[in-house]
Structures are given as structure tokens and as C-alpha cells.
């Protein structure tokens, strides 16, 4: 196998109507892709205008494969059909409401995927993400800060290694027409030992929900979203907000493992740190540094304020590495706080959070 074959990618694009938008998507791919690729368009029972537009476009581009269904079976089944027709070492799933804005975008996504064997899924940026703030140690990032680890890859554009598909299969069709299917696939990949990341410097603009808007009214979309959210939580547990208050230096590797375990289970981890910065490059780990001389009562005040918020914004569990601070803040919390040793309590923390997520 030559180098080009090893870096080739099958791009799968489900389509339902919206011919002008779809053609703009296809043109942006062709304009900005230099590495070997094939586009597999799955026409999900579009109208005649879209059918003709796709057919006419295909006539002028030999690396486009057009597959049509006479009825709309949904985005998930369309993607799975495309995966079944693919054979390249990489698969890229894209919405037709996307526009590639970065030259040689696909090779750059593949380059990030190839930086580590355990990177399995890669998102580009969609243009308005918030990047992590504060100092970051080079050891926790790629040498050029090319990516950050994610809780899950968003389905508008995901590069997937063939090794992931071989290990976990295709998308779960229990999610019907869509929503939470990308979350679910990402969690399955993470549980199988892969990481989900976002590549910096590669932008694929997403028009957000345009595809679903063409199929469902708002009320039906909300109902589908809620139904699939409940299905996802029943399968994997709820996403929690977890606080760690650290006052002592800990082994960076062991402490990071505890926090990453939770972040990779979709939980948001708030790290209030009075010790050495950990600077973990994961989107779900929010580190805030505090001065050693700061009065410890500030933590009690922050927790009291949080307890006054709506339930969805409240912290679900609080861990602290100091007995006295734990005793001080526990009365402010419904379930109390937990004393934790960041060098040996990895399993205990996991058990506490897993139990709370299943309630």
C-alpha cells in the first residue's frame, strides 16, 4: 500500500433536499481537499430538484459516489449505509449544511489523528468555540498545540479511524432520526480506549440544525431530542458537575488520571487549585488557580452560591484533599463533601461519581 492509499478517506454525506446548500458543501470539499478522497453521498429520499442537482454534479466529478433511497430513513441509517460502502483507512462523516474553510483540511485532520495511536475521532473547529484559557504546559499538548481532547465529537464533521469502526462498529440506530447518536458513538469509542479530540486551525463551518429543520417542526425536534437524551442517560448515566479543591501538591500523573477518568465519562470537572497547576488539556476540565494565602472560607461561599442555582447548574459532588476544609464546607452541601487523596483514591472517586450519575 502506497502512502496516498494509507491516508485516503471516504467522506460520507447524508442529504435530504437543500440542493444549493449541498452543492456548496461539495464544492468547498473539492476546492480545499488535496489528499486522496472519495465522497459517498447518501440521498435520503430527496425531492426531484435535489435528485437532479446531485446527479448533474456527479457527472462532472468522478470521485463522487451517489446512493439513493426512495424514503428518508434518517441521518443515522444513512451514515451507517455509507460506512458499509466505505473501505478507506479513514472515514469522515459530514452534514450537508457544512462548508470547509481551511486549505488541505482533510490532510490536517488526518495528521492530528496520526499523532497518537489512541486518537480515534477528530473534529475540526466550527468557528466560534471557546478555547481553554490560562497557561498550558507543553507536555500536556501536542508540540504545536494542534488539538485538545473532547468529551465527545460533534456529528457535523467527524474524522474516524478505520480501527475505531473495526472495534466498535457503526452508529446505534436506536437513536432513530438523530440527536445524541454522536455522543453515544464517542462514549463507545472512549470506553474502547480511544480519544476524541478537536483539531485547532482547521475550520468547517456548520449552519447548525439546518438538516433537522428541513424535516421536523420545532416541537417534534424538541421531543426527539428529549427522548434520545433520556436514552443516552439510561445507557451511560447523567453528566455531572464535580468539584475538586486541591491545597496540596500531588503526583501530576496520578491526579490527572483521576480527573481525566471523569472528563472522559462526559462529566464537567471544576478544579479549584491552590497547589501546582495541572493544566490538563481536556475541554471538560476547568482549572482555576487560587493563592495559598486566600481564606479558605471563600470555598464555602462559592458552594453556597452554587446551591442557590437551578438544579441543572448545581455541583453534584465535591472532593477536597484537606480534612479541615472538608469539615467546613460539608454543611453547605446536601450530600456533604468527600476527603480525597489524589494519589491513591482513583477507584473511590470513580465509584462515588458513577453512583451519583446512575441516580
131 pLDDT higher than 80: no
345 pLDDT higher than 70: yes
- Number of Cβ within 10 Å of residue 233's Cβ equals 15
Reference 183, options 225, 219, 141; nearest CA is 225
Pick the CATH number of 3-234 from 3.90.550.10, 3.30.43.10, 3.30.565.10, 3.40.50.300: 3.90.550.10
Looking at residue 213, its pLDDT comes to: 53
Q: Kindly report, residue by residue over 261-316, the tens digit of the pLDDT.
A: 999 999 999 999 999 899 899 999 999 999 888 887 899 999 999 999 998 899 99
Domain with CATH 3.90.550.10 in the chain: 3-234
Looking at residue 177, its pLDDT comes to: 86
Domain with CATH 3.40.50 in the chain: 241-357
Looking at residue 129, its pLDDT comes to: 59
Looking at residue 245, its pLDDT comes to: 96
99 pLDDT higher than 60: yes
State pTM to two decimals: 0.89
Looking at residue 212, its pLDDT comes to: 53
256 pLDDT higher than 50: yes
137 pLDDT higher than 90: no
pLDDT tier at 210, thresholds 50, 70, 90: low
CATH architecture designation of domain 241-357 = 3-Layer(aba) Sandwich (3.40)
Amino acid at each position: 500500500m502506497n502512502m496516498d492509499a494509507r491516508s485516503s478517506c471516504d467522506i460520507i454525506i447524508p442529504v435530504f433536499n437543500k440542493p444549493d446548500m449541498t452543492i456548496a458543501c461539495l464544492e468547498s470539499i473539492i476546492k480545499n481537499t488535496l489528499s486522496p478522497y472519495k465522497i459517498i453521498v447518501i440521498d435520503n429520499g430527496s425531492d426531484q430538484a435535489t435528485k437532479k442537482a446531485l446527479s448533474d454534479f456527479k457527472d462532472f466529478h468522478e470521485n463522487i459516489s451517489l446512493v439513493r433511497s426512495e424514503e428518508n430513513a434518517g441521518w443515522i441509517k444513512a451514515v451507517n449505509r455509507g460506512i458499509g460502502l466505505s473501505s478507506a483507512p479513514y472515514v469522515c462523516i459530514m452534514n450537508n449544511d457544512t462548508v470547509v474553510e481551511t486549505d488541505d483540511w482533510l490532510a490536517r485532520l488526518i495528521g492530528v489523528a496520526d499523532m497518537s495511536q489512541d486518537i480515534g475521532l477528530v473534529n475540526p473547529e466550527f468557528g466560534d468555540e471557546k478555547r481553554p484559557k490560562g497557561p498550558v504546559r507543553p507536555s500536556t499538548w501536542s508540540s504545536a498545540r494542534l488539538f485538545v481532547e473532547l468529551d465527545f465529537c460533534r456529528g457535523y464533521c467527524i474524522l474516524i479511524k478505520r480501527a475505531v469502526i473495526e472495534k466498535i462498529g457503526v452508529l446505534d440506530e436506536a437513536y432513530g432520526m438523530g440527536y445524541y447518536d454522536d455522543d453515544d458513538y464517542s462514549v463507545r469509542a472512549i470506553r474502547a480506549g480511544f480519544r476524541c479530540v478537536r483539531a485547532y486551525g482547521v475550520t468547517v463551518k456548520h449552519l447548525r440544525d439546518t438538516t433537522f429543520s428541513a424535516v421536523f417542526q420545532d416541537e417534534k425536534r424538541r421531543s426527539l431530542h428529549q427522548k434520545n437524551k433520556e436514552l443516552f442517560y439510561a445507557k451511560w448515566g447523567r453528566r455531572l458537575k464535580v468539584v475538586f479543591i486541591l491545597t496540596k501538591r500531588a503526583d501530576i500523573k496520578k491526579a490527572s488520571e483521576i480527573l481525566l477518568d471523569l472528563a472522559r465519562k462526559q462529566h464537567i470537572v471544576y478544579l479549584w487549585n491552590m497547589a501546582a497547576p495541572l493544566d490538563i488539556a481536556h475541554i471538560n476540565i476547568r482549572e482555576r488557580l487560587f493563592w495559598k494565602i486566600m481564606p479558605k472560607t471563600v470555598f464555602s461561599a462559592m458552594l453556597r452560591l452554587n446551591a442557590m442555582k437551578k438544579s441543572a447548574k448545581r455541583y453534584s459532588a465535591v472532593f477536597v484533599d484537606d480534612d479541615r476544609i472538608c469539615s467546613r464546607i460539608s454543611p453547605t452541601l446536601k450530600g456533604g463533601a468527600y476527603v480525597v487523596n489524589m494519589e491513591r483514591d482513583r477507584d473511590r472517586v470513580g465509584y462515588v461519581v458513577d453512583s451519583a450519575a446512575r441516580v
